[in-house]
Chain A
Protein backbone atom coordinates (compact mmCIF):
# COMPACT_ATOMS: atom_id res chain seq x y z
CA UNK A 1 0.00 0.00 0.00
CA UNK A 2 1.50 3.29 -1.00
CA UNK A 3 0.65 6.90 -0.37
CA UNK A 4 2.12 9.67 -2.48
CA UNK A 5 1.76 13.25 -1.29
CA UNK A 6 3.13 16.19 -3.26
CA UNK A 7 1.23 19.35 -2.41
CA UNK A 8 1.65 23.10 -2.12
CA UNK A 9 -0.53 25.48 -0.16
CA UNK A 10 -0.06 29.10 0.78
CA UNK A 11 -0.59 29.65 4.49
CA UNK A 12 -0.48 32.83 6.54
CA UNK A 13 3.06 32.44 7.86
CA UNK A 14 4.73 30.24 5.27
CA UNK A 15 4.19 28.12 2.21
CA UNK A 16 3.38 24.50 2.79
CA UNK A 17 5.38 22.35 0.36
CA UNK A 18 5.04 18.76 1.41
CA UNK A 19 6.45 15.96 -0.67
CA UNK A 20 6.82 12.34 0.38
CA UNK A 21 5.80 8.88 -0.64
CA UNK A 22 5.54 6.06 1.82
CA UNK A 23 5.02 2.31 1.84
CA UNK A 24 5.42 1.78 5.55
CA UNK A 25 2.49 0.80 7.72
CA UNK A 26 3.00 3.56 10.24
CA UNK A 27 4.49 6.88 9.22
CA UNK A 28 5.18 9.54 11.84
CA UNK A 29 5.23 13.23 11.01
CA UNK A 30 7.36 14.97 13.61
CA UNK A 31 7.43 18.74 13.81
CA UNK A 32 7.16 21.71 16.15
CA UNK A 33 3.73 23.28 16.59
CA UNK A 34 2.67 25.40 13.67
CA UNK A 35 4.94 23.71 11.11
CA UNK A 36 2.06 22.52 8.94
CA UNK A 37 1.66 18.94 10.18
CA UNK A 38 -2.05 19.14 10.89
CA UNK A 39 -2.68 21.04 7.67
CA UNK A 40 -0.96 18.22 5.78
CA UNK A 41 -3.27 15.66 7.36
CA UNK A 42 -6.31 17.83 6.64
CA UNK A 43 -5.28 18.05 2.98
CA UNK A 44 -4.90 14.29 2.78
CA UNK A 45 -8.32 13.77 4.36
CA UNK A 46 -9.89 16.31 1.99
CA UNK A 47 -10.94 18.71 4.73
CA UNK A 48 -8.65 21.40 3.32
CA UNK A 49 -7.78 21.88 -0.32
CA UNK A 50 -4.16 22.35 -1.42
CA UNK A 51 -3.43 25.07 -3.98
CA UNK A 52 -1.70 22.62 -6.27
CA UNK A 53 -0.13 19.18 -6.44
CA UNK A 54 -1.39 15.64 -6.10
CA UNK A 55 -2.31 13.05 -3.51
CA UNK A 56 -2.44 9.44 -4.65
CA UNK A 57 -3.38 6.44 -2.52
CA UNK A 58 -2.40 3.19 -4.26
CA UNK A 59 -3.93 3.76 -7.69
CA UNK A 60 -6.69 6.08 -6.50
CA UNK A 61 -6.15 9.75 -7.27
CA UNK A 62 -7.56 11.69 -4.31
CA UNK A 63 -6.38 15.08 -5.48
CA UNK A 64 -4.74 16.32 -8.66
CA UNK A 65 -4.77 20.02 -9.46
CA UNK A 66 -3.69 19.44 -13.09
CA UNK A 67 -6.52 17.04 -13.79
CA UNK A 68 -8.92 19.07 -11.62
CA UNK A 69 -9.60 16.10 -9.37
CA UNK A 70 -10.55 16.78 -5.76
CA UNK A 71 -12.47 13.94 -4.15
CA UNK A 72 -14.70 15.07 -1.28
CA UNK A 73 -13.75 13.63 2.13
CA UNK A 74 -16.78 11.36 1.91
CA UNK A 75 -15.22 9.41 -0.95
CA UNK A 76 -11.61 9.27 0.19
CA UNK A 77 -11.89 6.42 2.69
CA UNK A 78 -9.57 8.13 5.10
CA UNK A 79 -10.28 8.07 8.81
CA UNK A 80 -9.30 11.04 10.97
CA UNK A 81 -8.85 10.83 14.73
CA UNK A 82 -9.19 14.35 16.10
CA UNK A 83 -7.43 15.47 19.24
CA UNK A 84 -10.78 16.09 20.94
CA UNK A 85 -12.23 12.94 19.28
CA UNK A 86 -15.07 15.00 17.72
CA UNK A 87 -17.77 12.55 18.79
CA UNK A 88 -21.33 13.55 17.90
CA UNK A 89 -22.65 14.91 21.22
CA UNK A 90 -26.32 14.26 20.42
CA UNK A 91 -25.81 10.60 19.55
CA UNK A 92 -25.27 7.54 21.70
CA UNK A 93 -22.13 5.43 21.50
CA UNK A 94 -23.91 3.02 19.21
CA UNK A 95 -25.24 5.74 16.91
CA UNK A 96 -21.80 7.32 16.76
CA UNK A 97 -20.22 4.07 15.60
CA UNK A 98 -23.03 3.41 13.15
CA UNK A 99 -22.72 6.88 11.54
CA UNK A 100 -20.01 5.83 9.11
CA UNK A 101 -21.19 2.30 8.31
CA UNK A 102 -22.69 1.58 4.92
CA UNK A 103 -24.94 -1.34 4.02
CA UNK A 104 -28.25 -2.87 4.97
CA UNK A 105 -29.68 -2.68 8.45
CA UNK A 106 -28.55 -6.21 9.32
CA UNK A 107 -25.03 -5.60 8.01
CA UNK A 108 -24.79 -2.35 9.95
CA UNK A 109 -25.95 -4.06 13.11
CA UNK A 110 -23.35 -6.77 12.67
CA UNK A 111 -20.43 -4.39 12.12
CA UNK A 112 -21.45 -2.12 14.99
CA UNK A 113 -21.79 -5.00 17.41
CA UNK A 114 -18.46 -6.37 16.31
CA UNK A 115 -16.75 -3.04 16.98
CA UNK A 116 -18.50 -2.61 20.33
CA UNK A 117 -17.18 -6.01 21.35
CA UNK A 118 -13.69 -5.37 20.02
CA UNK A 119 -13.28 -2.00 21.70
CA UNK A 120 -14.67 -3.10 25.08
CA UNK A 121 -17.69 -0.84 24.84
CA UNK A 122 -20.29 -3.36 25.92
CA UNK A 123 -22.72 -1.82 28.38
CA UNK A 124 -21.96 1.69 27.13
CA UNK A 125 -23.95 1.44 23.88
CA UNK A 126 -26.66 3.84 24.98
CA UNK A 127 -24.48 6.37 26.78
CA UNK A 128 -23.88 9.83 25.34
CA UNK A 129 -20.28 10.99 24.78
CA UNK A 130 -20.34 13.43 27.71
CA UNK A 131 -21.06 10.53 30.05
CA UNK A 132 -17.83 8.75 29.08
CA UNK A 133 -14.29 9.02 30.40
CA UNK A 134 -11.47 10.22 28.16
CA UNK A 135 -10.31 6.69 27.48
CA UNK A 136 -13.78 5.50 26.60
CA UNK A 137 -14.23 8.46 24.27
CA UNK A 138 -11.02 7.57 22.46
CA UNK A 139 -12.20 3.99 22.04
CA UNK A 140 -15.53 5.13 20.62
CA UNK A 141 -13.79 7.51 18.22
CA UNK A 142 -11.49 4.76 17.02
CA UNK A 143 -14.28 2.21 16.78
CA UNK A 144 -16.30 4.70 14.76
CA UNK A 145 -13.38 5.28 12.38
CA UNK A 146 -12.59 1.60 11.90
CA UNK A 147 -16.27 0.74 11.41
CA UNK A 148 -16.25 2.95 8.32
CA UNK A 149 -13.44 0.76 6.95
CA UNK A 150 -10.91 3.40 5.92
CA UNK A 151 -7.76 2.58 3.98
CA UNK A 152 -5.71 5.06 5.98
CA UNK A 153 -6.13 6.30 9.53
CA UNK A 154 -4.78 9.74 10.42
CA UNK A 155 -3.95 10.49 14.04
CA UNK A 156 -3.72 14.22 14.76
CA UNK A 157 -1.77 14.82 18.00
CA UNK A 158 -3.86 12.21 19.77
CA UNK A 159 -2.37 12.67 23.22
CA UNK A 160 -1.10 16.20 23.49
CA UNK A 161 -3.97 17.51 25.62
CA UNK A 162 -3.68 14.80 28.28
CA UNK A 163 -1.76 14.54 31.53
CA UNK A 164 1.11 12.11 31.50
CA UNK A 165 -0.48 9.20 33.39
CA UNK A 166 -3.61 9.05 31.30
CA UNK A 167 -1.57 9.70 28.20
CA UNK A 168 0.56 6.62 28.74
CA UNK A 169 -2.49 4.40 29.22
CA UNK A 170 -4.28 5.74 26.18
CA UNK A 171 -1.18 5.41 24.08
CA UNK A 172 -0.79 1.76 25.04
CA UNK A 173 -4.44 1.17 24.30
CA UNK A 174 -4.31 2.90 20.94
CA UNK A 175 -1.26 0.89 19.94
CA UNK A 176 -3.00 -2.33 20.79
CA UNK A 177 -6.16 -1.37 18.90
CA UNK A 178 -4.21 -0.38 15.83
CA UNK A 179 -2.20 -3.61 15.81
CA UNK A 180 -5.27 -5.39 14.43
CA UNK A 181 -5.83 -2.78 11.74
CA UNK A 182 -4.55 -3.73 8.30
CA UNK A 183 -4.48 -0.28 6.68
CA UNK A 184 -1.97 2.49 6.87
CA UNK A 185 -1.52 4.86 9.79
CA UNK A 186 -0.18 8.43 9.77
CA UNK A 187 0.65 9.94 13.14
CA UNK A 188 1.29 13.62 13.63
CA UNK A 189 2.97 14.80 16.81
CA UNK A 190 5.49 17.21 18.27
CA UNK A 191 6.55 14.60 20.83
CA UNK A 192 9.61 12.67 19.68
CA UNK A 193 9.10 9.76 22.08
CA UNK A 194 5.51 9.25 20.98
CA UNK A 195 6.46 9.29 17.30
CA UNK A 196 9.39 6.93 17.91
CA UNK A 197 7.26 4.39 19.75
CA UNK A 198 4.55 4.36 17.07
CA UNK A 199 6.30 4.71 13.74
CA UNK A 200 8.57 2.69 11.50
CA UNK A 201 9.39 5.66 9.37
CA UNK A 202 9.56 9.28 10.45
CA UNK A 203 9.33 12.44 8.37
CA UNK A 204 10.58 15.58 10.08
CA UNK A 205 8.68 18.74 9.13
CA UNK A 206 9.92 22.28 9.61
CA UNK A 207 8.34 25.49 8.28
CA UNK A 208 6.07 23.60 5.91
CA UNK A 209 8.71 21.37 4.34
CA UNK A 210 9.82 17.79 4.79
CA UNK A 211 13.36 18.12 6.18
CA UNK A 212 14.25 14.46 6.46
CA UNK A 213 12.55 11.19 5.78
CA UNK A 214 14.10 8.07 7.26
CA UNK A 215 13.71 4.94 9.37
CA UNK A 216 13.21 5.88 12.99
CA UNK A 217 16.57 4.52 14.28
CA UNK A 218 18.38 6.25 11.45
CA UNK A 219 16.70 9.54 12.33
CA UNK A 220 17.77 9.45 15.95
CA UNK A 221 21.33 8.21 15.22
CA UNK A 222 21.96 10.59 12.39
CA UNK A 223 19.45 13.42 12.15
CA UNK A 224 21.28 15.18 9.22
CA UNK A 225 19.56 18.58 9.58
CA UNK A 226 19.44 21.12 12.42
CA UNK A 227 15.64 20.96 12.69
CA UNK A 228 15.73 17.16 12.84
CA UNK A 229 18.44 17.26 15.52
CA UNK A 230 16.43 19.71 17.61
CA UNK A 231 13.20 17.76 17.23
CA UNK A 232 14.91 14.53 18.21
CA UNK A 233 16.01 16.26 21.39
CA UNK A 234 19.58 17.36 20.71
CA UNK A 235 20.27 20.26 23.08
CA UNK A 236 23.80 21.20 22.00
CA UNK A 237 24.14 22.59 18.50
CA UNK A 238 27.01 24.81 17.34
CA UNK A 239 27.75 26.34 13.98
CA UNK A 240 30.58 24.44 12.34
CA UNK A 241 32.87 24.32 9.33
CA UNK A 242 34.77 21.51 7.75
CA UNK A 243 38.55 21.41 8.20
CA UNK A 244 39.56 17.96 6.89
CA UNK A 245 37.67 14.78 6.11
CA UNK A 246 37.52 13.93 9.81
CA UNK A 247 37.96 17.22 11.62
CA UNK A 248 35.78 20.26 11.95
CA UNK A 249 35.76 23.55 13.78
CA UNK A 250 32.80 24.30 16.07
CA UNK A 251 32.47 28.08 16.03
CA UNK A 252 30.12 28.67 18.95
CA UNK A 253 32.13 26.40 21.24
CA UNK A 254 35.46 27.58 19.76
CA UNK A 255 37.01 24.09 19.50
CA UNK A 256 38.34 21.77 16.84
CA UNK A 257 36.66 18.37 16.96
CA UNK A 258 37.56 15.00 15.53
CA UNK A 259 34.76 12.87 14.07
CA UNK A 260 34.89 9.15 13.32
CA UNK A 261 32.35 9.69 10.58
CA UNK A 262 33.40 11.48 7.41
CA UNK A 263 32.60 15.18 7.63
CA UNK A 264 30.31 16.13 4.72
CA UNK A 265 31.28 19.08 2.53
CA UNK A 266 28.11 21.04 3.21
CA UNK A 267 28.30 20.84 7.02
CA UNK A 268 26.88 23.91 8.75
CA UNK A 269 26.36 22.71 12.33
CA UNK A 270 27.58 20.07 14.74
CA UNK A 271 25.44 18.58 17.50
CA UNK A 272 26.09 16.64 20.70
CA UNK A 273 23.35 15.05 22.76
CA UNK A 274 23.42 16.22 26.38
CA UNK A 275 23.49 12.73 27.89
CA UNK A 276 26.31 11.41 25.65
CA UNK A 277 28.86 13.80 27.14
CA UNK A 278 31.30 12.02 29.46
CA UNK A 279 33.62 13.29 32.15
CA UNK A 280 37.23 11.95 32.38
CA UNK A 281 40.11 13.27 34.34
CA UNK A 282 42.90 12.47 31.92
CA UNK A 283 43.88 13.76 28.53
CA UNK A 284 44.21 10.44 26.68
CA UNK A 285 40.98 10.95 24.80
CA UNK A 286 40.31 12.92 21.67
CA UNK A 287 37.91 15.87 21.83
CA UNK A 288 38.57 16.61 25.49
CA UNK A 289 37.54 19.98 26.64
CA UNK A 290 38.34 21.97 29.79
CA UNK A 291 35.22 23.61 31.01
CA UNK A 292 34.07 26.00 33.66
CA UNK A 293 30.87 24.96 35.43
CA UNK A 294 28.64 27.97 35.04
CA UNK A 295 25.33 26.65 36.31
CA UNK A 296 23.92 23.47 37.86
CA UNK A 297 20.20 22.77 37.62
CA UNK A 298 18.63 19.95 39.57
CA UNK A 299 16.07 17.62 37.95
CA UNK A 300 14.27 14.79 39.80
CA UNK A 301 16.72 12.12 38.60
CA UNK A 302 19.58 14.02 37.03
CA UNK A 303 21.50 17.26 36.96
CA UNK A 304 21.73 19.64 34.06
CA UNK A 305 25.22 21.13 34.13
CA UNK A 306 25.88 24.14 31.95
CA UNK A 307 29.49 24.25 30.80
CA UNK A 308 31.62 27.03 29.33
CA UNK A 309 34.68 26.11 27.30
CA UNK A 310 37.50 27.70 29.36
CA UNK A 311 39.34 28.85 26.27
CA UNK A 312 36.31 30.03 24.32
CA UNK A 313 36.95 33.49 22.88
CA UNK A 314 33.29 34.35 22.36
CA UNK A 315 31.57 34.51 25.73
CA UNK A 316 27.88 34.15 25.00
CA UNK A 317 25.25 32.28 26.97
CA UNK A 318 24.16 30.57 23.75
CA UNK A 319 27.62 29.01 23.35
CA UNK A 320 27.29 27.07 26.59
CA UNK A 321 27.25 23.29 26.46
CA UNK A 322 24.47 21.48 28.26
CA UNK A 323 25.41 18.26 29.98
CA UNK A 324 22.89 15.90 31.52
CA UNK A 325 24.37 13.66 34.19
CA UNK A 326 23.02 11.11 36.70
CA UNK A 327 22.72 12.41 40.24
CA UNK A 328 25.08 9.80 41.63
CA UNK A 329 27.71 10.36 38.99
CA UNK A 330 27.69 14.10 39.49
CA UNK A 331 28.05 13.74 43.23
CA UNK A 332 31.05 11.39 42.69
CA UNK A 333 32.74 13.80 40.34
CA UNK A 334 32.74 16.31 43.11
CA UNK A 335 30.51 19.26 42.99
CA UNK A 336 33.18 21.48 44.48
CA UNK A 337 35.25 21.83 41.34
CA UNK A 338 34.89 24.92 39.21
CA UNK A 339 36.50 23.35 36.18
CA UNK A 340 36.13 19.83 34.79
CA UNK A 341 37.29 17.97 31.75
CA UNK A 342 34.67 16.44 29.45
CA UNK A 343 34.84 14.35 26.27
CA UNK A 344 32.69 14.82 23.20
CA UNK A 345 32.77 11.24 21.87
CA UNK A 346 33.92 11.28 18.19
CA UNK A 347 31.40 8.48 17.47
CA UNK A 348 28.48 10.49 18.80
CA UNK A 349 28.92 13.82 17.05
CA UNK A 350 25.92 14.75 14.88
CA UNK A 351 27.05 16.25 11.61
CA UNK A 352 24.33 18.56 10.36
CA UNK A 353 23.84 20.49 7.18
Chain B
Protein backbone atom coordinates (compact mmCIF):
# COMPACT_ATOMS: atom_id res chain seq x y z
CA UNK B 1 0.00 0.00 0.00
CA UNK B 2 1.19 3.45 -0.91
CA UNK B 3 1.64 5.24 2.44
CA UNK B 4 1.98 8.80 1.15
CA UNK B 5 -1.64 9.80 2.05
CA UNK B 6 -0.87 9.11 5.73
CA UNK B 7 2.23 11.29 5.75
CA UNK B 8 0.61 14.04 3.73
CA UNK B 9 -2.37 14.01 6.09
CA UNK B 10 -0.15 14.20 9.18
CA UNK B 11 2.04 16.92 7.71
CA UNK B 12 -0.97 18.98 6.66
CA UNK B 13 -2.85 18.48 9.95
CA UNK B 14 0.19 19.34 12.11
CA UNK B 15 0.97 22.50 10.18
CA UNK B 16 -2.67 23.56 10.08
CA UNK B 17 -3.04 22.98 13.83
CA UNK B 18 0.07 25.01 14.54
CA UNK B 19 -1.33 27.91 12.54
CA UNK B 20 -4.74 27.73 14.24
CA UNK B 21 -3.21 27.71 17.74
CA UNK B 22 -1.70 31.14 17.18
CA UNK B 23 -4.46 32.60 15.03
CA UNK B 24 -7.18 31.15 17.29
CA UNK B 25 -5.70 32.72 20.43
CA UNK B 26 -5.18 36.03 18.64
CA UNK B 27 -8.74 36.03 17.28
CA UNK B 28 -10.27 35.11 20.66
CA UNK B 29 -8.35 37.90 22.42
CA UNK B 30 -9.31 40.34 19.70
CA UNK B 31 -13.04 39.58 19.89
CA UNK B 32 -13.05 39.78 23.70
CA UNK B 33 -11.24 43.11 23.62
CA UNK B 34 -13.31 45.02 21.06
CA UNK B 35 -16.52 46.72 22.12
CA UNK B 36 -18.12 47.38 18.71
CA UNK B 37 -18.88 44.83 15.98
CA UNK B 38 -18.26 41.93 18.32
CA UNK B 39 -21.09 39.92 16.80
CA UNK B 40 -19.91 40.53 13.25
CA UNK B 41 -16.35 39.38 13.92
CA UNK B 42 -17.54 36.41 15.94
CA UNK B 43 -19.80 35.42 13.06
CA UNK B 44 -16.99 35.81 10.56
CA UNK B 45 -14.63 33.66 12.64
CA UNK B 46 -17.23 30.95 13.17
CA UNK B 47 -18.52 30.89 9.61
CA UNK B 48 -16.09 28.23 8.24
CA UNK B 49 -17.55 25.79 10.77
CA UNK B 50 -21.11 26.11 9.48
CA UNK B 51 -20.54 26.70 5.78
CA UNK B 52 -20.30 23.64 3.52
CA UNK B 53 -16.56 22.89 3.13
CA UNK B 54 -16.96 23.10 -0.64
CA UNK B 55 -18.17 26.67 -0.28
CA UNK B 56 -15.18 27.52 1.92
CA UNK B 57 -12.96 25.85 -0.68
CA UNK B 58 -14.58 27.84 -3.43
CA UNK B 59 -13.98 31.13 -1.59
CA UNK B 60 -10.35 30.19 -1.01
CA UNK B 61 -9.94 29.23 -4.65
CA UNK B 62 -11.31 32.60 -5.76
CA UNK B 63 -9.30 34.46 -3.14
CA UNK B 64 -5.97 32.73 -3.71
CA UNK B 65 -6.28 31.68 -7.36
CA UNK B 66 -4.14 32.94 -10.23
CA UNK B 67 -6.53 35.73 -11.18
CA UNK B 68 -6.88 37.28 -7.72
CA UNK B 69 -4.58 40.04 -6.41
CA UNK B 70 -3.41 37.83 -3.55
CA UNK B 71 -2.76 34.95 -5.95
CA UNK B 72 -0.73 37.21 -8.21
CA UNK B 73 1.23 38.52 -5.25
CA UNK B 74 2.00 34.99 -4.11
CA UNK B 75 3.01 34.05 -7.65
CA UNK B 76 5.60 36.82 -7.61
CA UNK B 77 7.00 35.29 -4.42
CA UNK B 78 7.06 31.96 -6.19
CA UNK B 79 4.49 30.48 -3.86
CA UNK B 80 1.63 28.63 -5.44
CA UNK B 81 -1.27 27.59 -3.29
CA UNK B 82 -3.69 25.96 -5.67
CA UNK B 83 -3.05 22.22 -6.17
CA UNK B 84 -0.14 22.15 -3.69
CA UNK B 85 0.19 20.86 -0.14
CA UNK B 86 0.29 24.50 1.06
CA UNK B 87 -3.24 24.76 -0.31
CA UNK B 88 -4.23 21.68 1.70
CA UNK B 89 -2.79 23.31 4.84
CA UNK B 90 -4.68 26.53 4.22
CA UNK B 91 -7.93 24.67 3.55
CA UNK B 92 -7.58 22.56 6.72
CA UNK B 93 -6.51 25.55 8.83
CA UNK B 94 -9.45 27.68 7.73
CA UNK B 95 -12.01 24.94 8.25
CA UNK B 96 -10.69 23.90 11.67
CA UNK B 97 -9.90 27.42 12.89
CA UNK B 98 -13.40 28.04 14.41
CA UNK B 99 -12.95 25.05 16.73
CA UNK B 100 -9.78 26.53 18.18
CA UNK B 101 -11.18 30.05 18.29
CA UNK B 102 -14.34 28.93 20.08
CA UNK B 103 -12.58 26.76 22.67
CA UNK B 104 -9.97 29.40 23.49
CA UNK B 105 -12.64 32.08 23.68
CA UNK B 106 -14.66 29.93 26.08
CA UNK B 107 -11.60 29.33 28.25
CA UNK B 108 -10.76 33.04 28.31
CA UNK B 109 -14.33 33.98 29.19
CA UNK B 110 -14.40 31.54 32.06
CA UNK B 111 -11.14 32.86 33.44
CA UNK B 112 -11.74 34.98 36.56
CA UNK B 113 -11.30 38.55 35.41
CA UNK B 114 -10.44 39.63 38.98
CA UNK B 115 -7.19 37.70 38.65
CA UNK B 116 -6.20 39.91 35.74
CA UNK B 117 -7.28 43.03 37.62
CA UNK B 118 -5.25 41.92 40.61
CA UNK B 119 -2.18 41.43 38.42
CA UNK B 120 -2.61 44.92 37.01
CA UNK B 121 -2.90 46.58 40.40
CA UNK B 122 0.25 44.72 41.42
CA UNK B 123 2.06 46.50 38.60
CA UNK B 124 2.53 43.59 36.19
CA UNK B 125 2.85 44.55 32.51
CA UNK B 126 0.07 43.40 30.18
CA UNK B 127 2.33 41.13 28.13
CA UNK B 128 3.68 39.51 31.27
CA UNK B 129 0.16 38.98 32.59
CA UNK B 130 -0.77 37.21 29.37
CA UNK B 131 2.33 35.02 29.29
CA UNK B 132 2.64 34.16 32.97
CA UNK B 133 -0.95 34.10 34.12
CA UNK B 134 -3.53 33.87 31.34
CA UNK B 135 -1.82 31.29 29.12
CA UNK B 136 -0.89 28.83 31.89
CA UNK B 137 -4.44 28.97 33.21
CA UNK B 138 -6.13 28.29 29.88
CA UNK B 139 -3.88 25.33 29.06
CA UNK B 140 -6.72 22.80 29.50
CA UNK B 141 -8.83 24.76 26.98
CA UNK B 142 -5.88 25.08 24.66
CA UNK B 143 -5.21 21.35 24.70
CA UNK B 144 -8.86 20.52 24.12
CA UNK B 145 -8.90 22.98 21.23
CA UNK B 146 -5.70 21.52 19.79
CA UNK B 147 -7.02 17.97 19.82
CA UNK B 148 -10.32 19.00 18.24
CA UNK B 149 -8.56 21.08 15.60
CA UNK B 150 -6.12 18.32 14.79
CA UNK B 151 -8.90 15.76 14.44
CA UNK B 152 -10.89 18.10 12.22
CA UNK B 153 -7.86 18.99 10.08
CA UNK B 154 -7.06 15.32 9.69
CA UNK B 155 -10.55 14.62 8.40
CA UNK B 156 -10.82 17.65 6.11
CA UNK B 157 -12.14 16.76 2.68
CA UNK B 158 -14.31 19.28 0.87
CA UNK B 159 -12.25 22.44 1.02
CA UNK B 160 -9.04 20.48 0.44
CA UNK B 161 -10.47 18.94 -2.71
CA UNK B 162 -11.44 22.35 -4.02
CA UNK B 163 -8.15 24.08 -3.29
CA UNK B 164 -5.50 21.37 -3.32
CA UNK B 165 -7.13 18.79 -5.54
CA UNK B 166 -6.35 15.12 -5.54
CA UNK B 167 -2.78 14.58 -6.73
CA UNK B 168 -1.39 11.25 -5.45
CA UNK B 169 1.88 11.71 -3.61
CA UNK B 170 1.41 15.49 -3.51
CA UNK B 171 -1.95 16.59 -2.18
CA UNK B 172 -3.83 13.33 -1.72
CA UNK B 173 -4.66 13.06 1.99
CA UNK B 174 -6.25 10.02 3.61
CA UNK B 175 -9.81 11.26 3.34
CA UNK B 176 -9.26 12.13 -0.30
CA UNK B 177 -7.64 8.73 -0.84
CA UNK B 178 -10.78 7.01 0.48
CA UNK B 179 -12.86 8.94 -2.03
CA UNK B 180 -10.47 8.12 -4.88
CA UNK B 181 -10.35 4.44 -4.01
CA UNK B 182 -14.14 4.14 -3.91
CA UNK B 183 -14.43 6.01 -7.20
CA UNK B 184 -12.12 3.54 -8.88
CA UNK B 185 -13.78 0.53 -7.23
CA UNK B 186 -10.73 -0.34 -5.09
CA UNK B 187 -12.62 -1.24 -1.92
CA UNK B 188 -9.65 -2.92 -0.31
CA UNK B 189 -7.66 0.31 -0.22
CA UNK B 190 -10.75 2.24 0.86
CA UNK B 191 -11.25 -0.11 3.84
CA UNK B 192 -7.62 0.27 4.89
CA UNK B 193 -7.73 4.06 4.89
CA UNK B 194 -11.10 4.10 6.61
CA UNK B 195 -9.64 1.92 9.36
CA UNK B 196 -6.61 4.19 9.81
CA UNK B 197 -8.74 7.35 9.93
CA UNK B 198 -11.20 5.79 12.40
CA UNK B 199 -8.45 4.64 14.75
CA UNK B 200 -6.71 8.01 14.72
CA UNK B 201 -9.87 10.05 15.28
CA UNK B 202 -11.08 7.72 18.02
CA UNK B 203 -7.71 7.94 19.78
CA UNK B 204 -7.89 11.72 19.65
CA UNK B 205 -11.33 11.71 21.30
CA UNK B 206 -10.21 9.24 23.97
CA UNK B 207 -7.22 11.46 24.70
CA UNK B 208 -9.48 14.42 25.09
CA UNK B 209 -11.91 12.70 27.43
CA UNK B 210 -9.01 11.47 29.49
CA UNK B 211 -7.68 15.01 29.71
CA UNK B 212 -11.10 16.47 30.59
CA UNK B 213 -11.52 13.89 33.32
CA UNK B 214 -8.20 14.84 34.85
CA UNK B 215 -9.04 18.54 34.75
CA UNK B 216 -12.42 17.88 36.31
CA UNK B 217 -10.81 16.07 39.22
CA UNK B 218 -8.43 18.96 39.79
CA UNK B 219 -11.12 21.62 39.76
CA UNK B 220 -13.50 19.76 42.04
CA UNK B 221 -10.71 19.44 44.55
CA UNK B 222 -10.21 23.16 44.32
CA UNK B 223 -13.83 24.11 44.86
CA UNK B 224 -14.34 22.37 48.20
CA UNK B 225 -12.06 24.77 50.07
Please give the residue numbers on chain A whose beta carbons come within 8 Å of chain B beta carbons, in ascending order.
42, 45-47, 72-80, 82, 84, 86-91, 99-100, 102, 130, 132-134, 137, 144-145, 148, 150
Contacts and interface: CB of A to CB of B under 8 A. Distances in A.
Contact of B221 (A73, A102, A130, A148): A130
B221 A82 contact: no
Interface string B104-129: 00000000101101111111110000
Contact of B123 (A74, A91, A133, A137): A74
A77 B122 CA distance: 8
A74 B117 contact: no
Given A88-B133, A90-B136, A132-B225, A76 B112 contact: no
A148 B123 contact: yes
A99 to B, nearest CB: 6
Nearest to B114: A86
B33 interface: no
Q: Is the interface of B mostly helix, strand, loop or mixed?
A: helix
A137 B225 CA distance: 10
A79 B123 CA distance: 9
Given A89-B137, A132-B225, A80 B123 contact: no
A151 to B, nearest CB: 12
B123 A102 contact: yes
Given A84-B114, A90-B133, A47 B120 contact: yes
A62 to B, nearest CB: 12
Contacts, number: 73
A134 B124 CA distance: 25
Q: Is the interface of A mostly helix, strand, loop or mixed?
A: loop
B36 interface: no
Contact of A100 (B114, B122, B132): B122
Interface residues of B, number: 19
Contact of A99 (B117, B122, B221, B225): B122
Contacts of A87: 115, 118
Interface of B: 112, 114-115, 117-125, 132-133, 136-137, 221-222, 225
B152 to A, nearest CB: 28
Contacts of A133: 225
A161 B125 CA distance: 30
A148 B117 contact: no
28 contacts: A46-B120, A46-B121, A47-B117, A72-B120, A73-B120, A73-B121, A74-B123, A78-B121, A80-B117, A82-B117, A84-B114, A86-B112, A86-B118, A88-B115, A88-B118, A88-B133, A88-B137, A89-B115, A91-B132, A99-B119, A100-B123, A100-B124, A130-B221, A130-B225, A132-B225, A133-B225, A145-B122, A150-B121
A127 to B, nearest CB: 12
A84 B119 CA distance: 14
Given A90-B133, A130-B222, A82 B124 contact: no
Contact of B124 (A47, A86, A99, A132): A99
A170 to B, nearest CB: 14
Given A88-B133, A132-B225, A47 B115 contact: no
CB-based closest 8 A-B pairs: A100-B122, A86-B118, A130-B222, A73-B120, A90-B136, A86-B114, A80-B121, A82-B114
A100 B125 CA distance: 10
